[in-house]
Amino acid sequence: MQAIERILSEVDRAADEIVDLTAALVRIPTVNPPGEAYDACARFLGGFLERRAFGVETTRHPRVNVIGSRRGGPGPVVHLNGHIDVVPAGDGWTVDPFGGLVRDGKIFGRGVCDMKAGIAAAVFAAEAIERAGVTLPGTVEISGTVDEESGGFAGVAHLAESGRIAKGRTDYVIIPEPLNVDRICIGHRGVYWFEVTARGRIGHGSMPFLGVSAIDGMGRLLQSVREILVPALASRRTAVPVVPPRARQATINVNGIDGGQPVGGIQTPCVADLCRAVFDRRFLIEEGFDATKKEIAELVGRVAGDTGAAGVRFDLRDLMVVHPVKTPDDSPVVAAVDRAIRRVLGRPAELVASPGTYDHKHVTRIAGIPHCIAYGPGELELAHQPDEYCRIDDLVNATKVIAVSTLDLMGASVP
């Protein structure tokens, strides 16, 4: 039997173990925020890798990350990265979100598709190569990192900043996020979170004409956002294949607003002298950050000069900027995963980009590695939902794809 066939049958043979590992990870409630049970999960994953003869490193800065490495020949280093944190369970579950229930060919639980199944797929991709008796031409690394759901700063960003994941040391990165088993994710849009503060002048609520309402001023701004900015953004389309297709345009969301007397608090007969709003602007790679920010600043400036908002002062403050990323069209990692998907599933891969953001940004922007993609089991639409699940056949197929791609990237020929 050819090496690839042996590896594929080792994955099939390991199916129950892959399911068990996924369920065991789900049972560790690594909820973020705030970041619970990280140590327990890192210890469990590190121990699992150590028992299978991976070299295991643990870093703490200030939160724990774990990396297992298996070295073969001098060939390329393929790094498989998964975040161990999951979002809170929320309401609406019909099963225990941290029970790791297996039923009807699916594994249920918070974070099962996003992305504990992906971590299990990465581990058993490497394991199947070993069990098939195939010598690795290079090195495979598997990391379990924290805080992806809150920006990844103590996780992948830290590993990149400390040089543990770095250009020259790491050749290819595959992040097994749930993008559907036949899709390769080549990047994401940009994120600009900002806060606008409107300041008016306090006055008696019985004589509002003697004060300046910051809430009225913010109302003007929101009206301009809705009437001017939203239609302008809707007319801009990216050439990047963002999914779902409606996310192929630039967007803005008002995340929160707060001003004047606290609603439900003590009555104060006052004109609101302060109102703050937080916005979430998703921008396209074609727009770029500078133009995005300039457009917002100009809009705020225009509203400030508007007679309807007379006397209100506005301040704009950046909260977070994530620049968009895109894997180069001719990247070997895209070609290898595409070949593996054809080999395992018998159909070509669909290239997609994420409407949100994920740790790809740190791999590319901080570590300087262009050859990064996300590929993993589970359906994107189920992430962060109640009764989140991952299909076992998708999990097994994704494990095969990751195994074949890993070997292919190391220079082995994949027929």
Q: Which stretch binds Zn ion (CB under 5 A): 23-31, 170-178, 297-305, 316-324?
A: 170-178
The contact pattern for Zn ion, residues 219-238, with x = CB under 5 A and - = no contact, is: --------------------
Strand partners, 196: 277, 316
- Compare residues 42 and 129 and give the one whose CB is closer to Zn ion: 42
Q: Which stretch binds Zn ion (CB under 5 A): 32-40, 86-94, 106-114, 369-377?
A: 106-114
- Compare residues 137 and 356 and give the one whose CB is closer to Zn ion: 356
Longest Cα separation, the chain:
88
The count of residues interacting with Zn ion (CB under 5 A) is 3
Catalytic residue among 10, 130, 147, 148: 148
Q: How far is the CB of 82 from Zn ion (least distance, A)?
A: 8
- The three-state secondary structure class of 224 is helix
Q: Does 85 bind Zn ion (CB under 5 A)?
A: no
Catalytic residue among 10, 85, 114, 388: 85
Look up 148 and say whether it is catalytic.
Answer: yes
Residue nearest to Zn ion (CB): 114
Q: Which stretch binds Zn ion (CB under 5 A): 38-46, 112-120, 129-137, 266-274?
A: 112-120
- Find where tokens 């727009």 sit: 287
Q: How far is the CB of 375 from Zn ion (least distance, A)?
A: 13
Q: Does 114 bind Zn ion (CB under 5 A)?
A: yes
- Compare residues 126 and 179 and give the one whose CB is closer to Zn ion: 179
Q: Which stretch binds Zn ion (CB under 5 A): 172-180, 192-200, 275-283, 320-328?
A: 172-180
Look up 85 and say whether it is catalytic.
Answer: yes
Q: At what angle do helices 15-26 and 3-13 cross, to 10 degrees?
A: 50
Q: How far is the CB of 177 from Zn ion (least distance, A)?
A: 5
Tokens of 62: 């200030």
Residues 6+ apart with CB under 8 A from 131: 10, 13, 14
Tokens of 59: 């870093």
Q: Does 379 bind Zn ion (CB under 5 A)?
A: no
Q: Does 115 bind Zn ion (CB under 5 A)?
A: yes
Q: Are 333 and 364 in contact (CB under 8 A)?
A: no
What DSSP string describes 275-306? EEEEEEEEE-TTT-HHHHHHHHHHHHHHHHTS
Q: Which amino acid is at 3?
A: A
DSSP for residue 403: H
Query: Nearest 5°: CA angle at 151, between 186 and 195?
Result: 110
- Compare residues 30 and 292 and give the one whose CB is closer to Zn ion: 30
CA 342 – CA 241 distance, rounded (Å): 20
Strands 172-175 and 77-83: parallel
Q: How far is the CB of 217 from Zn ion (least distance, A)?
A: 38
Sheet with 102-103: list strands edge to edge.
Answer: 102-103, 106-108, 389-391
Contact residues for Zn ion, defined by CB under 5 A:
114-115, 177
Q: Which residues are catalytic?
A: 85, 148
